[in-house]
Amino acid sequence: MAGRQATNAAVETQLARLSLVEKVAQLFMVDVLERSLTPQDAAWLARARPGGVILLGNNIGTDDEVAAFVAAIHATNPDLPPLVAVDQEGGPVSRLAGDPAPGAVALGQLPDTEVEAFARARAGYVASFGFDINFAPVADVAYRPESIMADRAFGADPAVVAAKVAAVIAGGAGSGVLDTAKHFPGHGRSPLDSHALLPEIDLSPAEWLATDALPFQAAIEAGVPIVMLGHLGYRQWDAAPTSLSPVAVAMLREQLGFDGVIVTDDLAMAAVADLDPYAIVDRAIAAGIDWLMFGSHAAPVSDLIAYLQSQVESGAVAEARINDSVRRLLRLRLDR
């Protein structure tokens, strides 16, 4: 309890030092375009001060180049460096070529102790580049071979997937790299790719709690600090995509008891591409989401940050709402 109180005090101290625009900027995770930090991107990051930066496949060069890139991103804001993330699931989604651990399909066949050992090795490898966050593991259950997640999931049995997810979280603990359970509330029942359109999943909350929720519950119980919302159409829950759904957030917070950081999948993906990016910001904030990922610049992120700042200044969004998310994001840093 004393440790948590000390963390809370440190969070409040940091929060009090931030201006409104600095707090608003913390709620955005962005991408960069090259394999090294250009002067233009460096100047923008130093000026905008977003909370996170994701490196994608097009950003990955040699090992030395990647490590230098991550360090350069951190250096753009020495007081509150952007947290730098990568998608290093292993298997088909591997940004870094030297991963010592196999992908989820292979790990799903191994004892949990071996999965934990491999996860520890992967976390150390990702940490060696300076990354702060790994957007993994996949907590989706791939029920059928035609599932879009069949080659990225630990298996077709929710209980098995839950055990492997928990082992991965345990293996990564203490590495300095923060794991992320994705794609909440579960993408594995659909053959469709949310990069192209919005998959529809016909599953009631009660059915979900007994099945697809289990790996996410296991991740939370294992201490996962971040959960990523997928772009999914759970129409029995809500008309909104789950990535913008207050119902999905409530299921995560209230039903599963998660009090960490909720991040969206890329809000410029085709699944939500028909939505205006400013309306996306409004809906994400209203839903209670902490971190908005704009990895493809549907609108200039500077404009989106300025827009959300104006919403707070006008009273349309309460500053207390922004503070709630900033507190979680600051705690994420302090608890690493």
Residues annotated as catalytic (active site), given as ranges? 195, 265
Q: CA nearest 20: which of 317, 331, 332?
A: 317
Q: Say how far apart CA 256 and CA 217 lie, in whole Å.
A: 6
With beta carbons less than 8 A apart as the criterion, state whether 175 and 117 touch: no
* Axis crossing angle, helix 277-287 with helix 301-314, rounded to the nearest 10: 50
Print the SS3 string covering the chain: CHHHHHHHHHHHHHHHHCCHHHHHHHCEEEECCCCCCCHHHHHHHHHHCCCEEEECHHHCCCHHHHHHHHHHHHHCCCCCCCEEEECEEECCEECCCCCCCCCHHHHCCCCHHHHHHHHHHHHHHHHCCCCCEECCCECCCCCCCCCCCCCCCCCCCHHHHHHHHHHHHHHHCCCCCEEEEEEECCCCCCCCCCCCCCCECCCCHHHHHHCCHHHHHHHHHCCCCEEEECCCECCCCCCCCHHHCHHHHHHHHHHCCCCCEEEECCCCCHHHCCCCHHHHHHHHHHHCCCEEEECCCCCCHHHHHHHHHHHHHHCCCCHHHHHHHHHHHHHHHHCC
Q: CA nearest 244: which of 233, 255, 258, 257?
A: 233
